[in-house]
Amino acid sequence: MATVSKTLTRSMPSLAPREDLNPYRISQMQFDIAAEYLKLDAGLRQVLRTPKRIMEVAIPIKLDNGQVKVFTGFRVQHNVARGPAKGGMRYHPSVTLDEVKALAAWMAWKTATVNIPFGGGKGGVICDPKRMSKGELERMTRRFTSEILPIIGPDRDIPAPDVYTDSQTMAWIMDTYSMTVGHTALGVVTGKPISLGGSLGRNEATARGCLNVVEEACKIKRINLRGATVVVQGFGNAGSIAARLFLEKKAKIIALSDSRGGVHNPRGLDPLKAQRFKERTGSVVGMPGGARISNEDLLTLKCDILIPAALENAVTLENAEQIQAKIVAEAANGPTTPRADEVLARKNIFLLPDILANAGGVTVSYFEWVQNMYGYKWSEEEVNQKLEATMKRAFADVYETSRKYHVHMRTAAYILAVGRVADATMVRGLFP
């Protein structure tokens, strides 16, 4: 990897002198870098960097207190050249259209990185689910589904869980869609409850896929995962499960955090105890056996493996110089900015980009969709075996691309993914 790091500065196209934290502009910057290496013509670049469809909807619902409130929702389909759009539904107060557009683009490249036959889509609703009752969330979800129903479907666009959505949210979407079209359509969403056609292994898929590629990266960096120190920023679904899976591999979890802050113990923390403590108190902050630490300080702890598993722009130009991890595995979408990428590469930190490291979720979503469409039911062992094979093949493809072009792993993943989507687009041609 020394060759990759040394040649990065002179081989990468120059980036803007001031860092831009807008997620959509970051996603386009990442695309443009890959397009330069691939020497794509201007017309094809314009097709690939432009969202295919953007829908913004008003979601009026009656709250529990009888008042009517109108929420705003989005669904974006970035590219469907390789198959139906695929991507999660995010409920968060900070959701913006630019964020959803970026996430849809990242999904297009993510599905291509692991070479599954989907395009990229994403959805979001501007809301604070922590302040809403279950009934309000159900009514909002069902109304949102009815508004975007013309553009979703098992062969059009397949939503999945994301930030503050879960299997219950997917069940409401599936039921609303099915009642509207007049028949049960299991394949309209993935990440469903097992009783409604959900796949075994789906809940752990994002974290397990992250573990799979970290294991491969450890071979490159000659790190023994047994005893390796791990820091997890973001103790949600992906982060909490990743912490548990890494502990099962005898790694040492030395720090954990959520939106309120984190805990640190160089001798190790128990993720299961942290999960139980968070369920009781709402946060890992204050759990016994760990000293309080801020999210900012947690990111710069000396460790073997850092797993950003929260939201975008966690590692930026402001803190990249202080990152001391040997491997950074992005379980979140967009946690590292392009300028920070340059710094990490110069420091010879092995970055596993989001479109590779967290692609386990969409991979098992694909498996769930296949099972739904064909009436199959795979065992959890079979799902995990297929996931591991897919993730390790994708890692090998990206790593080989990084060596071929002498670039770091993010640019390599984009070169691989954009190339695959570009090939499909050119073969299909333009209609009419």
Active site residues: 122
- The DSSP 8-state label assigned to residue 199 in this structure reads P
47 class by beta-carbon count within 10 Å (0-12 exposed, 13-18 middle, 19+ buried): middle
Q: What DSSP line would sit under 248-269, residue for residue? A: HTT-EEEEEEETTEEEE-TT--
Residues contacting 317, CB < 8 A, separation 6+:
19, 337, 339, 340, 343
Strand partners, 308: 233
As given in the structure block, the two tokens for residue 137 are 């969330």
Residue of 189, 174, 130, 172 lying closest to 369 (CA atoms)? 189
Rounded Cα distance between 292 and 425, Å, is 50
E strands, 198-330, are 229-233, 252-258, 261-264, 291-293, 305-308, 327-329
E strands, 138-282, are 157-161, 229-233, 252-258, 261-264
Residue of 320, 301, 228, 225 lying closest to 263 (CA atoms)? 301
